Chains A and B, each alone.
Chain A
Amino acid sequence: MNIQVRDLPEQAASVQTKSAQTKTAQVKTAIADCDIHPAPATRTELYPFLAKRWHDHLETYDKHPYQGMMEGPPYPKAQPNASRRDAYPPEGGPQGSSLSFMQKQHLDPNNVVLGVLNPLKTGQGLRNHDLAAAICSAINDWQIEKWTSQDRRLKASVVVANEDGPTAAAEIRKRAGDPNFVQVLLLSRNVEPLGQRRYWPIYEAAQEAGLPVGVHAFGFGGNPITPSGWPSFYIEEMVGHAQCQQSALASLVLEGVFERYPKLKMVMVEAGFGWAPSLAWRLDRSWQRLRSEVPHVKRPPSDYIRDHIWWTTQPMEDPERRDHLFDVIDWIGWDKLLFATDYPHWDYDDPSRVLPPGVSDANREAFYLGNARKVYGLA
């Protein structure tokens, strides 16, 4: 009989327990995690990557995003830093700020062989476009210095001053061809719907660089976060990400972005995918009747969605009946889903729990790794 007693929980201790539990299990399948959120450990961690002019600016004026509140997220989160309570690094700092702890808690035990970094607290959505550009460029340097150069499994996203198309395009061109980066990152809430022409320089530069454009839920656009206004609860923000992404995707298709940039690939990150078929059906039906309003949309909207859009899985669709999930995936295509955990955020999906039984080995491999390697050019 073996009784092991340990004291009050510490993050490091819980990791030991988890690895001890899995020690006897077979080696885990290699996976890609297409949505990992790295965070600076301190408020000034980015300063070495920023000109002195911006240190002083931040100390004096701070950041001012496109929203009513001066700072912070539009809605308070359900867990500290919107993150898992067991993900605080033992050396201090917020969740997601330590590479060694990320390796120990997530990358190693889950056998993540490709991890895509999506920094969220960047210069995106700041009203001061010069500050936005400076912080974004600093974050891009920081991703290389602190993360991708230290762990080759990790790949960075080019974050850009999203409301200033030409400046954003310049940052993308600066990073083009750098193997540390695998995508351009936008957020779903912007000043205008994402298909509008102010954002086209971003798509042009991304296509030129051969980088997919990821659109992650969240961001600051200054607009109410749902189409029917500001909601009362955080849970409405959570489910509202799907609505927001639908508006963004409809705009991308209907403005003709994929006609203008036919090689552009886009990844919808953390906004669900169960709604994809119904949005496409509705778009097609309306397009059949209103095609003359948007003659630049030459094919049924669903064609563009199937050809140009990939989807990360977290937070996974979770219907009561697994055949409903499989029906949705059949429409989207098993070749278009990219597994993601959202580590260290609190609505993290554990890789061993997201896919129900009944998936072929080939589809499972594509879902967990193969599709990511292809879309990010690492196949």
Chain B
Amino acid sequence: MARHVIAPVNELPPGTRKFVTIDDRPIAIFNIKGEFFGLLNRCPHQGAALCEGPLIGLAQSSDPGAIEYTRLGEIIRCPWHGWEFDVRTGQSYCDPRRFRVKAYPVNVEPGAAVVKGPYVAETIKVAVESDYVVVDL
């Protein structure tokens, strides 16, 4: 497993996402209300670029007529077939037993730690005084 530096934290404000390709794997990094998450940008259903879909909430119902809409902005909806996945875990909401999108841990690390390594950051200049978004892969 290697740790890859994605971007300085201030380049990924809440509500944004960034697309990267690491070792031929397309990955999307999300900032959801200050928390960072990574998902493989390929829908396990038919292969669409899943993470280019809209971020929606989770509509659930305990009983017909009762609707709870929670977790706004934490569910990614595929741009092709509308399959929904939990950005936090990669869990599918329509077929969780058969399908899951690969989730990658994402953390914020101080520049000092990133400089020390072991991190991979060929295309990003790392400064000791900034914080960085780092994905484990």
Contacts and interface: CB of A to CB of B under 8 A. Distances in A.
A353 B23 contact: no
Task: Report the 9 A-B pairs with minimum CB-CB distance, sorted nearest first.
Answer: A85-B79, A4-B21, A9-B52, A350-B46, A353-B46, A1-B120, A86-B79, A14-B49, A5-B20
Contact of A3 (B4, B17, B47, B48): B4
Nearest to A10: B52
Which applies to chain A's interface (DSSP): helix, strand, loop or mixed? loop
A78 B17 CA distance: 23
Contacts of A79: 79, 82
Nearest to B51: A9
Interface of B: 2, 4, 6-7, 16-24, 26, 45-49, 51-54, 79-82, 120-124
A86 B49 contact: yes
A63 interface: no
A1 B23 contact: yes
Contacts of A8: 16-19
A4 B19 CA distance: 9
A112 B6 CA distance: 37
A150 to B, nearest CB: 26
Given A14-B52, A85-B53, A350 B47 contact: yes
A17 B49 contact: yes
A250 to B, nearest CB: 30
6 contacts: A2-B21, A3-B22, A8-B18, A17-B21, A85-B80, A347-B81
Contacts, number: 83
Contacts of B81: 346-348
A296 to B, nearest CB: 43
A186 to B, nearest CB: 27
A352 B48 CA distance: 12
Interface of A: 1-9, 14, 17-18, 21, 78-79, 84-86, 346-350, 352-353
A110 to B, nearest CB: 12
B79 A5 contact: no
B122 A3 contact: yes
Which applies to chain B's interface (DSSP): helix, strand, loop or mixed? loop
A175 to B, nearest CB: 33
A3 B123 contact: yes
B82 A3 contact: no
Contact of B47 (A6, A85, A346, A353): A353
For A85, A346, A348, A352, the residue with the greatest tally of chain B CB atoms inside 10 Å of its CB is A85
A84 B78 CA distance: 9
Nearest to A6: B19
B134 to A, nearest CB: 12
A200 to B, nearest CB: 38
B80 A86 contact: yes
Contacts of A346: 80-82
Contact of B24 (A21, A85, A347, A352): A21
B49 A1 contact: no
A1 B117 CA distance: 15
A84 B48 CA distance: 10
B7 A1 contact: no
Nearest to B41: A17
Contacts of B26: 17, 21
Contact of B18 (A5, A14, A84): A5
A18 B124 CA distance: 24
A5 B7 contact: yes
Nearest to A2: B23
A5 B41 CA distance: 13
B18 to A, nearest CB: 7
Nearest to A349: B46
